Amino acid sequence: MAELNLILLGPPGSGKGTQGERLQEDLEFPYYATGDILRAAVKEGTEVGKAAKEYMDRGDLVPDEVIIGIIADRLESGEADHGFILDGFPRTVPQAEALDSKLTDLGRALTAVILIDADDEEIVRRLSGRRVCQEKGHVYHVEFNPPAEDGVCDVDGSELYTRDDDKPEVVRHRLEQYHEKTAPLVDYYKKQGLLNQVDGADDPDRVSEKIRTLVSTLSLEEG
């Protein structure tokens, strides 16, 4: 199979995690969701987790060098040599530049950036009802994508919880951070001819369908 090096870009709550879960089922490549990696580090109490926690609680981005180091380690490990799906990274222009230069060093390049977009009002609605599983971070919504049994993950039976940073006041700050620091990446990747936009306001199945079509086209082009 062709090498596919993909990025899922978009504001918090646009559906990156939901679509990432589905994409993982289709593709065998490692899936790196930096938010999940950081939350696991906080839970384990590692140095990275201790450094990241206060930023995450406030809804700020963690410093670039922390997150760049995490992704660089994964790319150097060999496990992503045939492709990867990045969710939530890069989130700043310096992160995108660091990723470009790491891939160049490895003789590789990005295949495509998939921008899943949604407006701020929809995002607040989604994040206020988001529930996440303790075990693996599977994502639900109380109204739009409820689990079969209230408060329990369909996949692994673990308890669902509401993320602290999904409180409305923190969500507002995360959205400001997105518009200020992450949205410039849309132009950054447009200029490189890598940007593919999908309307995240559609229902989840329709969004998946569009992403699947796009990925099939990319596989054919790369293949």
Name the residues that contact ligand ADP, by CB under 6 A.
10, 12-18, 34-35, 38, 55-56, 59-62, 67, 88-91, 95, 126, 129-130, 139-141, 144-145, 165, 174, 200, 202-204, 207
Q: How far is the CB of 71 from ligand ADP (least distance, A)?
A: 8
Any catalytic annotation for residue 130? yes
Q: Which of 116, 92, 118 is nearest to 171 (CA)?
A: 118
Tell me whether residue 163 is one of the annotated catalytic residues: yes
Q: 29 vs 39, 85, 86, 173, CA distance in Å? A: 21, 7, 10, 32
Is residue 16 flagged as an active site residue? yes
Active site residue 53: no
Question: Active site residue: 53, 163, 172, 181, which one?
Answer: 163
Report the residue number, 161 or 221, with the smaller CB distance to ligand ADP: 161
- Choice between 199 and 221, CB closer to ligand ADP: 199
Helix intervals (H) in the chain: 16-26, 34-44, 47-58, 64-76, 93-105, 120-128, 168-177, 184-191, 204-222
3-state secondary structure of 46: coil
> Whose Cβ is closer to ligand ADP: residue 183's or residue 222's?
183
Q: Given the residues 126, 130, 131, 210, select the one marked as catalytic.
A: 130
Closest alpha carbon to 212 in 22, 82, 12, 28: 22
- The one catalytic residue among 39, 126, 131, 174: 174
Catalytic residue among 39, 91, 131, 210: 91
Q: Which amino acid is at 81?
A: D
